[in-house]
Amino acid sequence: MTTRVPSVRARRVAAAYSIRPGWLALVAAAVVAVAVGEIPLSYQYAPLVVSAVLLGLPHGAVDHLVIARQRGEGLTVRWLALVAGIYAVFGVAYGLVWFRWPVAAFVFFILMTWFHWGQGELYPLLNIVGATYLRAPSQQALTVLVRGGAPMAVPLVAFPDQYEFVATSLIGLFDPGAAAALAPLFEPGPRTAVGVVYGTAVVVTILLGYVRAGQRQPWLVDAGEMVLLSVFFLVVPPILAVGVYFCFWHSLRHIIRTVMLHDRSTTALDRADIAPVARQFARDAAPMTAGALVFLGLLYLLVPREPGDLSGLVALYLVLIAVLTLPHVVIVSWLDREQSVF
Ligand SMILES: CC1=C(/C=C/C(C)=C/C=C/C(C)=C/C=O)C(C)(C)CCC1
Ligand SMILES: [Fe+2]
């Protein structure tokens, strides 16, 4: 097993191109949301729409390459068949659940994203930010809970109407009316409970991190990010917030990680020469991104109810993402094991 440790310089460049743009994007969106107040819904959808070709969908479109590269092997028919098999088995199974039990499929989507977006934070925190105290399993679990919970739990507390609207638009593609089963979740009681538990988890995670951290600097970044994420999802309407976060936070962090598995890209990163790195990633991600968009067309033809307007089309896209994310979680968890993240 090879465990590549990025050089200090590569790490600094990785931070400049993947961590800092995320901070900037979230702060900018939060400032705009607070200053402008009501943002037209079509504008709020824009980052999610863009994510279909830029950063978002492409971040998972290199899944067929990452394990092979981590093992120091090129793409072989064997690797391609294995990853295709994982996508086929998990994707088809979960796809069928959407058609048969759309409410359960939606709830699972939220919980899976909670885990996956939390999980995606561990590698950059350990390897780019240098938060070594995250080696403790309990600190890792809290980090996954808090960081994945920011996009999935905080909007339920702060924007229940938009949350319910998106739930209804996804579930409604399969069974109009079925989303009513979730209505109790959007009442003040459950929302208060989620808010109290989440807020407590943030405070506990930050304080335990403080106690466990050897160096102050990585802890400051970690704690600052947790505060930023919580505030961002408290003040930015979630359709906009999730789109911005997906592209500029989760995907960018994952992309830089996959880029560092490619020798020539890592060498270019060392020189802070980002153009060839971006070109290589675009080449690597283009075929499967295009493939995923073909599946989006297929899904359009298959869903019982035609997605009429923009919210319906984005709902369809989110169902596609849901189905692709389950096998993506398998691959990312595998990569985590290979790189001794957990
Ligand atoms: C858009 C949106 C929501 C859900 C988005 C989800 C669940 C996105 C998942 C994306 C994934 C898994 C990307 C892959 O890494 C919420 C929370 C219902 C709130 C309202 C807006
Ligand atoms: Fe991901």
Q: What is the average pLDDT score of the chain?
A: 96
Ligand 1 neighbourhood includes 238 CB (under 6 angstroms): yes
Ligand 1 neighbourhood includes 57 CB (under 6 angstroms): no
Which value does ipTM take for this structure?
Answer: 0.98
| C-alpha dist (Å) from residue 151 to 173, 218, 340 | 23, 22, 26
Statement: residue 2 has pLDDT above 60: no
Taking the centre of ligand 1 as the mean of its atom positions, its distance from the CA of residue 18, in whole angstroms, is: 21
Alpha-helical runs (H) found in the chain? 8-14, 20-36, 41-50, 56-60, 63-70, 77-100, 102-119, 122-124, 137-158, 160-171, 188-212, 216-235, 238-245, 252-259, 263-270, 274-302, 310-338
User: Which pLDDT band holds residue 138 (cuts at 50, 70, 90)?
Assistant: very high
pLDDT tens profile 85-99: 999 999 999 999 999
Q: Give the residue whose CA is nearest to atom 18 of ligand 1.
A: 163
What pLDDT shows up at residue 117?
99
Instruction: Say if residues 142 and 204 touch (Cβ distance below 8 Å).
Output: yes
What pLDDT shows up at residue 7?
79
Tell whether 262 is in a known binding site.
no
Could you give the CA distance from residue 51 to residue 186 in angstroms, rounded to a whole number? 27
What pLDDT shows up at residue 1?
40
Could you give the CA distance from residue 137 to residue 135 in angstroms, rounded to a whole number? 6
User: Which pLDDT band holds residue 5 (cuts at 50, 70, 90)?
Assistant: low
| C-alpha dist (Å) from residue 168 to 100, 143, 298 | 16, 30, 21
Q: Which ligand 1 atom sits closest to the C-alpha of 120?
A: 15
Could you give the CA distance from residue 300 to residue 175 in angstroms, rounded to a whole number? 15
Tell whether 64 is in a known binding site.
no
pLDDT: is 4 or 237 the higher one? 237
Taking the centre of ligand 1 as the mean of its atom positions, its distance from the CA of residue 176, in whole angstroms, is: 20
What pLDDT shows up at residue 10?
82
Instruction: Say if residues 254 and 59 touch (Cβ distance below 8 Å).
Output: yes
pLDDT tens profile 155-176: 999 999 999 999 999 999 999 9
Q: Give the residue whose CA is nearest to atom 1 of ligand 1.
A: 239
Q: What is the mean pLDDT of residues 3-29?
A: 88
Q: DSSP state, 305?
A: S
Instruction: Tell which residue, 163, 170, 310, has the closest CA to residue 239.
Output: 163
What pLDDT shows up at residue 9?
87
Kindly report the number of other CB atoms within 10 A of residue 22's CB atom: 22
Ligand 1 neighbourhood includes 152 CB (under 6 angstroms): yes
Q: DSSP state, 14?
A: H
Q: What is the mean pLDDT of residues 281-287?
A: 98
By three-state DSSP, how is residue 61 classified? coil
Statement: residue 341 has pLDDT above 60: yes
Statement: residue 187 has pLDDT above 60: yes
Instruction: Say if residues 102 and 178 touch (Cβ distance below 8 Å).
Output: yes
CA torsion 63→132→125→200, rounded to 10°?
A: 120
Ligand 1 neighbourhood includes 321 CB (under 6 angstroms): yes
Could you give the CA distance from residue 316 to residue 313 in angstroms, rounded to a whole number? 5
Structure tokens at 233: 């999802």
Tell me which amino acid residue 11 is.
R
Kindly report the number of other CB atoms within 10 A of residue 25's CB atom: 18
Q: What is the mean pLDDT of residues 276-293?
A: 98
Q: Give the residue whose CA is nearest to atom 16 of ligand 1.
A: 163
What pLDDT shows up at residue 8?
83
Statement: residue 3 has pLDDT above 70: no
User: Which ligand ends up closest to the CA of 171?
Assistant: 1
What pLDDT shows up at residue 212?
97
Statement: residue 116 has pLDDT above 50: yes
Instruction: Tell which residue, 35, 42, 47, 28, has the closest CA to residue 250.
Output: 47
Ligand 1 neighbourhood includes 127 CB (under 6 angstroms): no
Could you give the CA distance from residue 340 to residue 180 in angstroms, rounded to a whole number? 43
What pLDDT shows up at residue 4?
61
Q: 128: buried, middle or exposed (CB in 10 Å: 19+, 13-18, 0-12)?
A: buried
- Looking at the chain, the whole-number percentage of residues with pLDDT higher than 70 is 99
pLDDT tens profile 59-68: 999 999 999 9
Q: Which ligand 1 atom sits closest to the C-alpha of 322?
A: 12
Statement: residue 58 has pLDDT above 60: yes
Residues 6+ apart with CB under 8 A from 245: 26, 117, 151, 229, 232, 233
Instruction: Tell which residue, 37, 118, 127, has the closest CA to residue 339.
Output: 127
Q: What is the mean pLDDT of residues 133-146?
A: 98
Instruction: Say if residues 48 and 246 touch (Cβ distance below 8 Å).
Output: yes
